[in-house]
Amino acid sequence: MNNVLSILFRSRTGTSLGLACAMVLSACSTTSTPESVQQSLEKTTPERQTIATVALAQVGDAYRANMAGPDQYDDSGLVYYAYRQNGRALPRGLQAQIEAGHPIPLAQAEPGDLVFFRMDSPNGQGRLTVGVLIDSQLAVLALPGTLDQGGGVRRVSLSGDYWQQRLVGVARLLPEATASR
């Protein structure tokens, strides 16, 4: 993995996400329509489709630290589960997932790529979280907190300032869809 991105990822890790952040996330909406998501998934490889649809199918499931499914997930556990359901080996831990991929610009990202965000907490520290990209404007993340507090597995819009300001990077583990078609 690119050493600069690896250092950036490592330097932005910290303590766990606070409840206040989870409350803000409950107000986030997505700009992707079911039609645009479907079109995006139709243009990619079956492998990428499977990873993205597995992640989407978990929306509404609970967050639980150190869990990787099938009904409770932490952030890296959700990604691990989506890849594992497609028969792909992926490390379980967040740092290992960062190191497994290679960085790409968001503009080149495709369904199934990993997206990393820095989440702030009320004490001024933060931590990284990882999710699965569904289309150019939508990702699925497992966020701390109960479902009614905005936690759990959620769709998040990448078009709003909230997520754009927190985006740390995108990593690719799978072959580019256009290269395999």
Q: Domain coordinates of the chain in residue numbers?
A: 3-175
For the stretch 66-84, pLDDT in tens is 999 989 999 999 999 999 9
For the stretch 26-40, pLDDT in tens is 333 445 777 878 888
Tell me: pLDDT of 110 over 90. yes
Q: Distance between CA 146 and CA 61 in Å, rounded?
A: 10
When pLDDT is cut at 50, 70 and 90, the band that residue 125 belongs to is confident
Grouping H, G, I as helix, E, B as strand and the rest as coil, residue 104 is: strand
When pLDDT is cut at 50, 70 and 90, the band that residue 179 belongs to is low
Q: Which residue has the higher pLDDT, 38 or 17?
A: 38
Pairing of strands 72-73, 114-120: unpaired
Q: Which residue has the tokens 């990593």?
A: 171
Q: How large is the average pLDDT for residues 38-65?
A: 93
For the stretch 149-167, pLDDT in tens is 889 999 999 988 989 899 9
Length of the chain: 181
Angle at the Cα of 136 from the Cα atoms of 57 and 37, rounded to 5 degrees: 45
Q: 3-175: what CATH class?
A: alpha beta
